[in-house]
Structure 1
C-alpha cells in the first residue's frame, strides 16, 4: 500500500482538492491517504472543510496576524518537515499556485518524496502577475514528478519548459467536480446566510457579484476599482454584492470608499454553498480571482477580470472572460455593455472538462506509479 499526503492551505485549494481527497480515500485498498492543511487561510478554509466533510490528519495552523510572505514561507517549510518525517509519504499532492503549494513541494523534494501537481501548467509568463502565484507555479513544476494539467494549453506550457510530456496528463479541472457536488447541495439547504442573499432579490434589481483580493491590486489599483464600482452602482438599478476579503489592505479601502453607497452591499466572506448560489443567480461577475474565471464560465456567467493578464487564456477564447484591469473607465464601460446587452452573457464553449478530473487523477496515479513501481 502506498502512502499519500494531500496538502493545501487556502480556501480555493481546499475546494479544488476536496474531490481528490474523496477519490483517494475511497480507494483505501490502494492508498493510506492523509490530509494536511497549513491554515494559510483560516476561517474561510474551515468553512470549506466542513462543507466537504474533510477532517485533516495534520493542521499546521501557521497563519499569524500581519504575517508577510517571508514569514509565511519560513513557517510552512519548518512546519512541514516533521509531518513528512512522521508519515514518510510515497506521494505528496499539492495544488495550483499558492505559497503552501510551492513550499510544501520544496519540503517534499528535500525529504525525497515524489510530488504530484494538480492544476499544473497555467502560465502568464510574468512572475509579478499574479504575484506571487505565477512564480509558485513555475517552481512547483520544476519539482513535480507527475503533472495534472487541466487543458491542452496547460500541457503545452509545461512541455515548452522542458517537462517530459509523458509525465503530463490532461484531466480537466477539479473545480468542476467540486462545482457539481456543490450545486447539487445548494438547492436543498436553507441557511441565514442564503436567506440574506435571497433578500436582495426583493426589488427585482439584477445582482452583480464582486470579489477582489490580489496583492498586485493593493493601493491605487483597488482605489480605482472602487471608484468604478461606485459609478456603476449609482447609475443603475442594480444590487452590487461584494463579499469583502478580510485582509486589511482590502477591507479598509473598500469600506471607506463604498460603505455609504445605498445599493452596494459589503458583506462578510461567504461559505462555499452560499457563494455558489450567488454566482448562479447574479447577472455577471467582476473579480480578480483565478478560480472564479473557471466557475463563472461553467455556470454560464460573463466575468470582467480586474487584471491585465490571465493564466487561463482558454476562458478568453470561450467568450466568458474580458480583461479590464484596474482602469476605472474600462471597468465602467465593460459593465455598461453587459448591463445593456444581455446577449453578451452567452458563452461559446467550456474548456475545463466534464467533472471527472479527480477520478482521472486517481486512475493515472495508480497506472503511472502504483502499478509501475513495486
Structure 2
C-alpha cells in the first residue's frame, strides 16, 4: 500500500504536490499556521488549509493573526468528540479529499477533528502526517478521548512529527520508529516569535497601563489563561481563589485574566477577583497580544500546552493546571513547567514561588527552550517534502543542554 512507503515516489516533473492542513480549533490553527507559511515560502508544495468543525470562527481568527487564510471551510454544528460529530466529519472530509485528491493530509494534536481527518485520509490511502506526535499520558481515560485519538492516529500515520525527543521515545515504545519519526520541535515556539512581530497596541486601556508599568519596572505581572470548557465551576473557583490569595500577599503584583463576556470563567472571575484593584479581567486576546503579555510576565498560570511551550523562549516560568486532587510536580528539567491540580493552596504557593524567583532569573539569560528553537515549521515543511520524494530527510531538532 502506498501509505507505507517513506519517502514516497517523487511526483511527476512540473507537478506541485498538494497538502491539506486541517485545523479544528484555535490552538491547532496557531500551530499549523507557521507550517502553512513555510510551505508557501518554499513553493515546492501547495498548502490547502482547511478550517473544520464547530470552531471555524476561532480557527479563522487564529490563522488571520499570522496572515493565513483558510482555503476551505468545512463547518459543522456537531461536537467532533461525539459519534454523530465524528460520522459527519468523516463523510464531509471524505468528499473534500475526493474533490482535492491531496498528496498528503497534515493533522495536529489529538482532538476529534484531527482523528476524523486522519481516518478519512487513511481510508482513501492518502498519507497522514501527524504534528505533535508521541504525546502520551499512558492512561486511556485521561484525557478522554484524546489519549485514544493520539494512539490511533499514530497507527495510520506515514510521518510522525514529534516536538521532543521524549515524544519520539514514546512512539518508539509503540514500535513507531525509524526514519518516519522526525523530531522537529514545537511550532508553537515559531508562532510565538512570529506573534511578537505582529503585536499591536492592546485595545483595553487597563491592559496597556499594566504593560507599561511592567516594562518600566513599576510592578510584576502574572498572566492567567484558562479554557473554561476544561474545568468544573468549583475547579475554576479554586484556581481563582488561589490567584486572589497571591495578589493579596504580593503588593507589587498585577494579574491579567482574559475571559469571554458572560462565559463561566468570566462570571467566576468577576465573583472571586472583581473587587481586587490589581486584577484586570479583559476580553479574550488574539495570539500576538497573548504572546506580548506572556513575554513580559513574571509567570503564567494556564491549562494551555501551547503557552507552556512558548514561555521558556521568554524566560517565563509556567504553572500548568492538570486534573486530579492535590497533585503537583516540579519541572523534570530546565524550561519545563510546574504542574498542579486546581487547588487553591497549590496555585497560590507555586505561583508565588515562581514570581519571587524572577529577580534571580533576570540575572541570567533565558535557558534554551527545550520545546523548540523557532525553526520547527521549516523542519515540518522539509519533512513533508521528504515524504513526497522532493528532498533529503531534514536534520532533527536537538535542544542544547
1:134-173 → structure 2 map (5 Å cutoff): 134-173=147-186
Q: Could you tell me which residue of structure 1 aligns to residue 120 of structure 2?
A: 107
The equivalent residue for 1:267 is: 282
* 1:353 paired residue number: 372
Q: Which residue of 2 aligns with 1:121?
A: 134
Native 8 Å contact 2:60 2:69 kept in 1? no
> Which of the residues 21, 39, 48 maps onto 2:36?
21
State the aligned residue count.
363
- In the alignment, what sits opposite 2:3? none
User: 1:94 is matched with which residue?
Assistant: 107
Give the unaligned 5+ runs of structure 2: 1-14, 392-401
Q: Return the alpha-carbon distance in structure 2 between the equivalents of residues 178 and 59 of structure 1.
A: 22
CA offsets 1:294-337 (integer angstroms, 9 cap, x no match): 0112211011121159xxx9964124411121121111111222
The answer to whether the aligner puts 1:229 opposite 2:243 as a matched pair is yes
1:68 and 1:58, CA in 2 relative to 1: closer, same or farther beyond 3 A?
A: closer
**Per-residue CA distance 1:26-68 (angstroms, 9 max, x = gap):** 344x32331111154344333222221112121112246xx58
Find the counterpart in structure 2 of residue 257 from structure 1.
272
Is 1:200 the counterpart of 2:210 in the alignment? yes
Q: Deviations over 1:75-98 (max 9, x none)?
A: 432332221121111200001122
> Following TM superposition, by how much is the alpha carbon of 1:216 offset from its aligned partner in structure 2, in angstroms?
4.8
Decide whether aligned partners of structure 1 residues 171 and 58 sit closer, same or farther in structure 2, where only a CA change above 3 A counts.
same
Question: Matched residues in 2 for 1:247 and 1:340: separation?
Answer: 33
Deviation at 1:142, TM superposition (A): 1.6
Cross-structure match for 1:58 = 72
- The worse-fitting range, judged by mean Cα deviation, of 259-268 and 161-170 is 259-268
Per the normalisation by structure 2, the TM-score is 0.82
- The answer to whether the 8 Å contact 1:209/1:240 transfers is yes
What residue is the counterpart of 1:279 in the other structure? 294
- Contact persistence 1:300–1:320 (CA under 8 A): no
Structure 1 residue 249: Cα displacement = 4.8
Cα deviations across residues 329-369 of structure 1 (Å, max 9, x unaligned)? 11111122233343564765421232222222222222232
Unaligned runs of 5+ in 1: none
The change in CA–CA distance for 1:273 and 1:37 in structure 2 (over 3 A counts) is same
Cα–Cα, structure 1 residues 23 and 336, in superposed 2: closer, same or farther, change >3 Å? Answer: closer
Structure 1 residues 42 and 270, CA gap change in structure 2 (3 angstroms)? farther
- Please give the TM-score of this superposition, normalised by the length of structure 1: 0.87
How far off its partner does 1:230 sit? Answer: 2.1
- Which string of whole-angstrom CA distances, capped at 9 and with x for unpartnered residues, describes residues 231-253 of structure 1? 22233332211112579454443
Instruction: Name the Cα RMSD after superposition.
Output: 2.7
Listed one character per residue, the Cα deviations across residues 135-165 of structure 1 (whole Å, up to 9, x for unaligned) are 3222221221100111111111001011132
Q: Name 1:327's counterpart in structure 2.
A: 343
8 A contact 2:330–2:339 mirrored in 1: no
Contact 1:293 1:321 in 2 (8 A): yes
